[in-house]
Every structure is written in structure tokens, then in C-alpha cells.
Amino acid sequence: MIRDYFLLVMTLIISVIILMIFPDRLGAVTATSLDYFFEMMMILPAVMVIMGLFSVFVSKEQVVKYLGKSSGIKGIFISILFGALPTGPLYVAFPMASSLIKKGARISNIVIFLSAWASIKIPQEMVELQFLGLNFMISRLILTIIFVTITGVSIERIMDWSDKKRNKSME
């Protein structure tokens, strides 16, 4: 909590300094901030309800089975699918990712889920097909899936390596 408040205070201080340097931007910054605030206030109650339902109806055992350490390729495909289905903004996915981590999901699957949410959307694929053609859509989709998977696995390995290094230095 202290870290979160520290980051909030630092962000506010930096924002005030920047606005003191560029006072002509105050109106645009205020309008944009209010727009995002109201957008989040419209979405967050639904997110909280979904998170409550998720925590009650999806057991830790299910998450570990389908997205945990032993999930393998199946976990990757599930992460991509669940990331590609929703069409909301990315910040909606973070509470879900946090809950999945707490229930035992692999870091690689969480990174893949978040990356798929950000870059693969079923409606987006249909628009790409219509305007850019089948070859472009399939090429981008395949490359996105490959690189999202590589990124997820790489980040998990880096985190594991970092944890091992930290544990050795503590011994």
C-alpha cells in the first residue's frame, strides 16, 4: 500500500510540475483525465462483479490444472483464447490477471493472456480480413501468436532466473 501511495503522490507531483511548465495544456489535461475517469467509473463496477463471480465459481484447482505449471501447450492456447475473446480496454484484464496469479497460474500464461488481450481481438480480425485481406490477417495473427508466446515464456524464464539469483545471494 505504501508503494502505491508513493507512486500516486509522485505522479501527482510530476503532473503539477509539468503543468506549471506548460500551463496552456491544463484544459486538455483536465478534459482527458475526466474522460478516462468517467470511462473507468462506467466499467469498473462490472469488472468487480465479474471478479467476484470468478473468485467464487473458478476454483484454485481448476486454474492450476488449466493454467498452472503443468498446463503446457494447453495453458498457452487457453490463455490466447481468453485474451482474444473480450473486447474491453486492457486495464480491465489486470484484475483478472492478478486473480489468476493468486490462484496459481503460470507467469507465462498471464503474460500471454494480457498480450493477447492487447493485440488479438476476434472483431479486429474480421475488420482486418475485410480491409486488408486474408493473407495479411492470417500472417499478422500467426506472427502475433508466436511472438506473444515467446514473450510470455521468456519473461517467465527471466523471472525464474532472477528469483534463483536473489535466493542465492540471500544464502
Contact 78, 66 (CB under 8 A): yes
Domain ranges of the chain: 1-57, 60-171
Which of 163, 86, 148, 144 is CA-nearest to residue 111? 148
Dihedral angle sign, alpha carbons of residues 99, 103, 107, 113: negative
Q: pTM (2 decimals)?
A: 0.78
68: DSSP letter: S
pLDDT in tens, the chain (171 residues): 788 899 999 999 999 999 999 999 999 999 999 998 898 888 878 878 888 888 888 888 999 999 999 999 999 999 999 999 887 788 888 988 999 999 999 999 999 999 999 999 888 899 999 999 999 999 999 999 999 999 999 999 999 999 888 888 887
Quickly list H helices, the chain. Answer: 2-21, 26-57, 60-67, 72-84, 93-102, 107-119, 122-132, 134-170
At residue 16, φ and ψ (nearest 5 deg) are: -65, -45
Which residue type does 138 have?
I
Q: Classify 90 as helix, strand or coil.
A: helix
